[in-house]
Amino acid sequence: MTTSAPTRVQRPRIVGDAAYHVAMLVAVLVWLIPMIWMVSLALSDNAALTKNTTSLLPVGFTLDNLLGVFSVGLTARWFLNSAVVTTLTTVATVLLCAMAGYAFARIDFRGKRIIYATVLAGLMIPKEAMFVPLFTMVADWQMHNTYQALILPRIAAPLGVFLMTQFFSKVPLEVEEAARVDGAGPWRTFFLIMLPLARPAMVSLGIFTFVQTWNDYLWPLVSATKAEMFTVTTGLASLQGNFAQATELGSLMARGLIGALPLLIIFIVFQRHLIRGIAMTSGGK
């Protein structure tokens, strides 16, 4: 806030900036202490950890925990499950929401207003709270412990449709008219012209969906009850509170770190998109 004062003498300003950055760096470090500690434990020797677990630097530095994550237990399988479920859910969500959003924004058809209002009403249905009827439905179809059960209920995201509708309604009409003059039908217009235009919105929605799906806990917990169908999130939860693991704190933390790795990579690569996706949920303005 103080930067808005333009006529300041140069030196106090530099000092002020330095103080600001020092304060922020300290705040960031304090904020991230729990994460730094986790990384340090993951890089520590399990035997050394039985004596000292309260160091911010690795005790008896080793990569064994990280390298051993996939060789012991079902973690590799959980990772595969999460990767399959999350990827398919994300692709399907983005595509279906973009299609529906395009129709709601750009195609005139009877009943559109009512259908769109019905979709928006879905924003008020708490998915988390409705897991009991969903469970019996999926049980009737004998679909529990399958990928379909983990993917299909998560695709229909009213928020995604809303965001894509908002996006498409802002695209200038001329773009579409030009395509129509060239003789392109709605499908061609959508896939060849509108989808490429919508890439930023789709990436934001996709990243957001990816993070949410990877982190989903309650639905995989009730639907995938066989250990080999766990996702990373439910699998890691199943390891906790298991006292045998407490003696191997380092490898437990390493599993957590690897389980969060895809998200960390996405965060580093797509940080701007993710943050914009969240800002978009506030209504675009």
Partner 1 sequence: MSTTTPARSVQTQHRRRSVKVGLRYGLAFTAPFLLLYLVFVVYPVAQAIRMSLYDWDLLGSVREFVGLDNYVRMLGGVNIAWSMTHLFWARLALVLLGVLLLVGPIRRRQLSGWRVAGVLGLVALAGLLGFYPAENGFWNDPVFWIALKNTLWFTAVSTPLIAVLGLVMALALQGRRRGSAWYQAAFFLPYILPVSVITLIWAYFLSPNQGLLQRLLGYFGVEPLSWLADPALAMPAIILTTVWWTVGFNLVLFTAGLQDVDQSLYEAAALDGAGPWGKFVHVTLPGIRHVVLLVMVMQAIASFQVFGQVNIMTGGGPGTSTEVVIRHIYTTGFRDFDLGYASAMSLFLFVLMLIVSVVQMRFLGKDNTL
Q: How many CB atoms lie within 10 A of CB 119?
A: 19
Minimum distance between the CB of residue 65 and partner 1, rounded to whole angstroms?
Answer: 13
Nearest CB to partner 1, comparing residues 175 and 278: 278
Structure tokens at 17: 């900036």
Nearest CB to partner 1, comparing residues 81 and 233: 233
| In the block, residue with structure tokens 């229909």 | 156
Minimum distance between the CB of residue 62 and partner 1, rounded to whole angstroms?
Answer: 18
Angle at 40 between CA 38 and CA 43, to 5 degrees: 110
Q: Are 256 and 38 in contact (CB under 8 A)?
A: yes
User: What sign does the CA torsion over 156, 158, 159, 164 have?
Assistant: positive
Nearest CB to partner 1, comparing residues 99 and 171: 99
Q: Are 74 and 227 in contact (CB under 8 A)?
A: yes
CA 105 centroid distance within chain: 26
Radius of gyration of the chain (CA): 24
Minimum distance between the CB of residue 54 and partner 1, rounded to whole angstroms?
Answer: 4
Minimum distance between the CB of residue 185 and partner 1, rounded to whole angstroms?
Answer: 8
What distance in Å separates the CA atoms of residue 86 and residue 93, rounded to the nearest whole number? 10
Nearest CB to partner 1, comparing residues 62 and 163: 163
Minimum distance between the CB of residue 216 and partner 1, rounded to whole angstroms?
Answer: 9
Minimum distance between the CB of residue 71 and partner 1, rounded to whole angstroms?
Answer: 20
Nearest CB to partner 1, comparing residues 33 and 175: 33
User: What sign does the CA torsion over 78, 80, 86, 89 have?
Assistant: negative
Q: Are 157 and 100 in contact (CB under 8 A)?
A: no
CA 17 centroid distance within chain: 34
Nearest CB to partner 1, comparing residues 134 and 197: 134
